[in-house]
A and B are shown apart, each in its own frame.
Chain A
C-alpha cells in the first residue's frame, strides 16, 4: 500500500516539477552533461589525443566545430571526454564527503557530549586547511593525479556535510515532534533515520548539487595547477591552463572549456534550487 503511494507521488513529482523553469533547465543541462560523457566513451568526432600539428590552433570550422589546440587536437572531442572526468571527480568526491560527513554530523547531534566534541574538533581541524592547500599537500605526499585530487576534494567535503547535518539536526532535536517520537518510545538511531534525515534531505540534496559544482571547479583548479588530471588525459581545468599562454592567439581555447564549466555549474545549481522547491512539502503548491 505504501509502495503504491510512493509510485503515485513520483508521478506527482514529475507533474509538479514540469512547471518549474529552473528545475527543468537544470535537469536538461545535467542530463546533457551525462549524455555527452556517456557518448564520449563510445564516440568522439576525433580521437581524443590524436596530435595533428599542421592543423594546430584552428578557429571553429565545419571540420573542427570548436577549433583545435596547439597540438592540433580537436577541442570538442576533448571537452566531451573532459565531461566524463568532471562527473567522475564530482560524484566520488561528493560521495566521500556526504557518505562520511552526514553520518558524523547526525551522530554528533544525536549523541551530544564528548562524541560531538570529537567530531566537531576533527571538522575544525580539516577546515583549518584551505581546500586547495590540503589538496596540494595530499598530492605532494602521494603524487599528482586524478585519484589523489578526488580524495583531497572528498576529504574537504566531509566537514561541509558534517556541519550542515549537525546544525540542522540539532535544531530538529529541539522540535516537539522529535520529543513526541521519543515519548512514543523510539531510540536515537530510529529517530535519526525516520525523523531527522527526511527533514534535512532537501537541505542535503541542495548542498550536494552545490558541492558537485564546487568539486568540478576544484578539480579544474587542481588540474590548472598541474596537480590533478595528468596530460595527455583531457580535463577542463587542464585545458584552461594550457589556453592561458595562447589567450590572444586563440581565445576559443579558453572560452569553450570555460563555457563548459560555467554551464555545468549553473545547471547543477539550478537543479539544486528546483529540487529544494520540489522536495519541501511546505512549499508544494496545492492542486
Chain B
C-alpha cells in the first residue's frame, strides 16, 4: 500500500532577486514499511523535499502538485491538521544532533514531550515511556538518566535521543535528513544500524536523505538520485548501482572517496564533476545537467528529458544514458 506519494511536486521560492525553482516536478511513491534513499549534492532539493512533506517550507515558498500521505493531500491541510500529523504520523531525524535538542530541557522531558502532546499521556506515564524509549535506542538506565541535559552527552548519544524522540509516537514514516553527516565514523555505522533496526522492527517507512552513495547502498531498498531540484535517476538500489545509467549518478559515484563493495575499488584517484549547479533563479530550459555533462548533445537543450524506463523498477531522465555495465 502506498504510504506517501508525491506527484509533480514543484516548489518555487520568491526571493528579492526573483522566483527560484528549488523543486521541479518531483514524483515518487513510498510504500508502508519500505525504505527510500534520496541522494544528491548540497542544494539539489533533498532537504526541501523533506520539508515539503512536513509542510514546513519557508513562507516565501509556493508549492504545486500533490503530496498524498495515507490518502490525504498534505498541501490542502491547514496548520492545525498538519500539527496533529507531524510527530504523530511523520517523524524526522536531523543532521546536526548538537543543535536538534533544546539545551535547557532534560532529555527525558524532550522525549516525553511528544507522548504527552500527541498521545495525551500524563506526566508519570510519559516519563516512564520515555525511559523505555531511551533504553530502546541504546541509552540504558541508570547510566543515561532522563534527567541528563544534552550537553552532557556525546554527538552519537544525542542523535540516539533525537531518534528516541522521533520514535516516541510510533510514526508510519521516518524521515532521516543526513542523520550521520555530523557524526564520527564509528558512530555513523551504529546510528545507521539503529535506524535500520527500529524501522524494520516497527514496520516504519524510511526516507533516508544523504549525499553519500555508500549510505544508500547499505541501507535502503530503493533510491532516487536528485540533481538541481529534479529527479535524475530512480529505481531499486541494486538495479541503479548495477546500471548507473545517468551521467550524474556516475559522476557522483566516481567522486565518492570510500570503497563500495565490488562496484567501487579503493585507492583510486577521485574524480570531480566540472562546472557548477545551475542557479535556481536561472534554470536552463533543457536538461539541467547538460552544461556539466560529457554526453550532452544538441537534443538535450530544447526541453528537459522525460523519464525513460530502462528495466522494471529502473528509470532515468536522460536522452543519452550510459548503456555499458562497467561503471568506471
Chain A interface residues (CB < 8 Å from chain B): 1-2, 5, 112-113, 175-177, 179-187, 190, 194-195, 198-199, 201, 281-282, 286
- Pairs across A and B, CB under 8 Å, 25 listed: A5-B147, A176-B95, A177-B99, A180-B92, A180-B101, A180-B165, A182-B54, A182-B56, A183-B56, A183-B92, A184-B113, A184-B117, A185-B82, A185-B117, A186-B87, A186-B113, A187-B79, A190-B117, A194-B105, A195-B102, A198-B104, A198-B105, A201-B104, A281-B151, A282-B151
Is B94 an interface position by the 8 A CB rule?
Answer: yes
Residue in chain A with minimal CB distance to B162: A180
Q: In the complex, what's the smallest C-beta–C-beta distance from A80 to chain B, in angstroms?
A: 40
Is B88 an interface position by the 8 A CB rule?
Answer: yes
User: Hey, which chain A residues are within 8 Å of B100, CB to CB?
Assistant: 176-177, 179-180
Residue pair B96, A176 in contact (C-beta under 8 Å): yes
Q: In the complex, what's the smallest C-beta–C-beta distance from A51 to chain B, in angstroms?
A: 55
Residue pair B123, A183 in contact (C-beta under 8 Å): no
Is B292 an interface position by the 8 A CB rule?
Answer: no
Interface residues of B in 148-188 (CB under 8 A from A): 149, 151-152, 162, 165
Is B83 an interface position by the 8 A CB rule?
Answer: yes
Chain B interface residues (CB < 8 Å from chain A): 54, 56, 59, 79-80, 82-88, 90-92, 94-96, 99-105, 109, 113-114, 117-118, 123-124, 127, 147, 149, 151-152, 162, 165
Q: In the complex, what's the smallest C-beta–C-beta distance from B196 to chain A, in angstroms?
A: 21
Residue pair B102, A184 in contact (C-beta under 8 Å): no
Residue pair A179, B103 in contact (C-beta under 8 Å): no
Residue pair A182, B86 in contact (C-beta under 8 Å): yes
Supposing A176-B100, A195-B102 touch, asked if A281 and B149 sit within 8 A by C-beta, the answer is yes
User: Hey, which chain A residues are within 8 Å of B88, CB to CB?
Assistant: 185
In the complex, A182 Cα to B91 Cα: how many Å? 10
User: Hey, which chain B residues are within 8 Å of A177, CB to CB?
Assistant: 99-103
Given A182-B54, A184-B113, 19 other A-B contacts at CB below 8 A? A1-B123, A2-B109, A176-B94, A176-B96, A177-B100, A177-B102, A180-B92, A180-B162, A183-B56, A184-B87, A185-B82, A186-B113, A187-B79, A187-B80, A195-B105, A198-B105, A199-B104, A201-B104, A281-B104
Residue pair B56, A187 in contact (C-beta under 8 Å): no
Residue in chain A with minimal CB distance to B99: A176
In the complex, A29 Cα to B113 Cα: how many Å? 40
Q: In the complex, what's the smallest C-beta–C-beta distance from A126 to chain B, in angstroms?
A: 28
Supposing A2-B127, A176-B94, A179-B94 touch, asked if A281 and B86 sit within 8 A by C-beta, the answer is no
Residue in chain A with minimal CB distance to B83: A185
In the complex, A176 Cα to B88 Cα: how many Å? 19
Contact of A184 among B95, B96, B99, B114 (CB under 8 A): B114
User: Hey, which chain A residues are within 8 Å of B80, CB to CB?
Assistant: 187
Residue pair B56, A184 in contact (C-beta under 8 Å): no
Nearest 7 A-B pairs (CB), nearest first? A184-B87, A185-B87, A185-B86, A176-B99, A176-B100, A183-B92, A177-B102
Q: In the complex, what's the smallest C-beta–C-beta distance from A1 to chain B, in angstroms?
A: 5
User: Hey, which chain B residues are within 8 Å of A175, CB to CB?
Assistant: 99
User: Hey, which chain B residues are within 8 Å of A199, CB to CB?
Assistant: 102-104
Residue pair B165, A184 in contact (C-beta under 8 Å): yes
Residue pair B99, A112 in contact (C-beta under 8 Å): no
Residue in chain B with minimal CB distance to A178: B102
User: Hey, which chain B residues are within 8 Å of A281, CB to CB?
Assistant: 103-104, 149, 151
